[in-house]
Amino acid sequence: MEVSRLPTGARPAPVVTAGSEVARRRRRPSGEPPPLPREAPGGTRWYAAAVALTLALEIAMAIPAPRRWLTAVDDVVLRALATVRTGWLTSVLRAVGHLAYADPTRVLAWATIAVLLLTRHFRQLLSYLAMLLLVAVSAAGLALLLGRMRPTAVSMLAPWRGYAHPSVPVAVFAAVVGGAVYTAVPTGHRHRLAAGVATTAIAAVALARLYLGIDHPTDVLAALGIGGALPILGYRLLCPHEAFPVRYRRGRTAHLELSAARTAAILEALDRQLGIRATAVAACGLDASAGSTPLRIRRADGSAVFGKLYALNHLRSDRSYKFARMMLYGRLEDEKPFATVRRLVEYEDHMLRLLRDAGLPVPAPLGIVEITPEREYVVVMDFVAGAKDLGARPATVPEIDAALAIVQRLWHAGVAHRDIKPSNLLVRDDRVWLIDVAFAALRPTPWRQAVDLANMMLSLALASDAALVYQRAVRIFAPDDVGEAFAASRSVTIPTQLRARLRADGRDLLVRFRELAPARPPVPIQVWSVRRMAGSLALLVAVALAGSALYGYARVAGLL
């Protein structure tokens, strides 16, 4: 009888039994929405409609017949408003109208810029500046293009300047106030309150200018479209709150908020895509993670799995981080940014599987779930229950040996982890697990593999003693390998967390290891690529131009 055999090394397909995890997995049929559909925030369609109407109004104003008709309608409204003119109301509305004059608006704009700068909300700051410029230039440009007179139906009761349509002061005031709320006030109750105050202020200014007879109603409507609706659409594209939340508390800003909708979507995705029935999702270890939002996922049976939520903001952080490293240190190696979030999670899942297959003690990979296509994914893996970070307590000799064996296995597998630090080494019962393999590289440069050994030894020495770690290391590594490891080590090759702990520790462990290991000249690691040189030159030119550009910007945007 012929017996079919699996090819050597192949894994048998999982047995599908009713109620098993595999049986519960299901393909999302065409047309069915993903767990967390990408939906425009509430009101976006209304803002888009307002911008479209503004565009239509501007076209109408450029054609003589509709312009004459619109002017007639404007005059009717202004005459009606003039019937309620009284002395005290005029005084009050003159004061309200002053809000839109240049000085108060400039003060608010500069205050917002200062807050965003000091609180390091750079993306919001750039978006705010871009929107102010867009509004100021659009409104002033259209006013010159259309060349409309001021109202003639009623007497004008306040100072005015320039062509009437669109109302440049109302547009700029709306952009400054609305932008301040969107970019500088955190979402939630305070944001709603601030938005209400801003809307009231803008409406009051608009109404005051109509009452005082210095703007036509259509001037104000166009200004609200340009200064109110258009920037909101811009902010929602450039710095949406979901991806770039405004926060003033300390901590990393890269983490996504686990809203009720997102939590429900993760639970649904785990069930449908991986067959994992989970009951709760909570963020964990946020301080040690900058590139993703780590999640502890509780299963229905009480056990836990670990997930790393990746989204567009993490992808952008990865890009800017790698660009900054290239500028500062040169292209250390393979630091090309990922093109999409999907590629990012695919890479991490692939590295987990590769390291597992190479016999490395990594959390078992469980797969990837899609939350929002091309925007949010979770890489799921086993949770190492009961484990602590290396250094939470003094390291034992078996732990030191196990940790050093990890580096040996990495070398045998031709992989560099590139981020070996205490928080990426979990310890339990004399066993050590290696986690966070997102930076790992296959077939790296020799010095990078050597640096993994140095970082591992430094991490271990923090939890024990340099001499002991060296003594255990030379049992499995040649002394020359250890010498090479510390010859290649310098501050840029040591992860930030490890560097901070070394500083806090007080012992100069790097020097101590160099004393213990055979002497070796430093290994050169800097690479001067054309890209780096061109990038550095471009950066210098950009800095040189920034001053004059800033001055020009402030003039055009009306901030001076």
Partner 1 sequence: MRWVRLVLGVLAGIPLLAGCSAVAATAPRCGDTERLGLVAQTVPSAGYVPCVAGLAAGWRSSGFTAQNGSTRFDLVSDRAPGYPVTVALRPSCGSTAGATPIPPRTPGGRTYLTLASIDPRYAGTMYDQFPGGCVSYRFDFARGPHIALMAQLAAAVGFVPRAQLRLRLRALLGVDPG
Q: Does 137 bind partner 1 (CB under 8 A)?
A: yes
Q: How far is the CB of 164 from partner 1 (least distance, A)?
A: 8
Contacts of 202 (CB under 8 A, 6+ apart): 170, 173, 174, 177, 178, 224, 228
Is 153 one of the binding residues for partner 1 (CB under 8 A)? yes
CB of 219 to partner 1, least distance (A): 13
560 binds partner 1 (CB under 8 A): no
Asked if 156 is part of the footprint of partner 1 (rule: CB under 8 A), the reply reads yes
Distance from C-alpha of 79 to C-alpha of 83, rounded to nearest angstrom: 7
* Residue 68 interacts with partner 1 (CB under 8 A): yes or no: yes
Q: Does 476 bind partner 1 (CB under 8 A)?
A: no
Among 37, 43, 159, 398, binds partner 1 (CB under 8 A): 159
Stretch that binds partner 1, among 62-70, 188-196, 461-469, 533-541 (CB under 8 A): 62-70
Interior CA angle at 308 toward 304 and 314, to 5°? 165
Return the closest-CA partner of residue 366 out of 354, 377, 376, 381.
Answer: 381
> Is residue 163 a contact point for partner 1 (CB under 8 A)?
yes
Per DSSP, the three-state class of 396 is coil
- Asked if 244 and 123 touch (Cβ cutoff 8 Å), the reply is yes
The piece of 11-19, 151-159, 185-193, 296-304 that touches partner 1 (CB under 8 A) is 151-159
- Establish if 142 lies at the interface with partner 1 (CB under 8 A): yes
Is position 161 an interface residue for partner 1 (rule: CB under 8 A)? yes
Of residues 148, 209, 472, 514, which one binds partner 1 by CB under 8 A? 148
Conformational region of residue 332, where left means phi above 0, alpha means psi within -120 to 50, and beta covers everything else: alpha
133 in contact with partner 1 (CB under 8 A): yes
Q: Report how many residues bind partner 1 under the rule CB under 8 A.
A: 33
Whether the CB-CB separation of 135 and 235 falls below 8 Å is answered with no
Q: Is 495 in the site for partner 1 (CB under 8 A)?
A: no
The strand order across the sheet containing 376-382 reads: 278-283, 293-299, 304-311, 376-382, 365-372
What is the token pair recorded at 58?
Answer: 């501007």
CA-CA distance, 252 to 262, in Å (whole number)? Answer: 19
CB-CB neighbours of 340 under 10 Å = 13
The residue among 111 and 149 lying less far from partner 1, judged by its C-beta, is 149
Least separation, in Å, of the C-beta of 150 and partner 1? 5
Residue 104 CB, nearest distance to partner 1 (Å)? 18
Positions touching partner 1 (CB under 8 A) are 64, 67-68, 71-72, 75, 130, 133-134, 136-138, 140-142, 144-145, 147-150, 152-153, 156, 159-164, 234, 237, 556
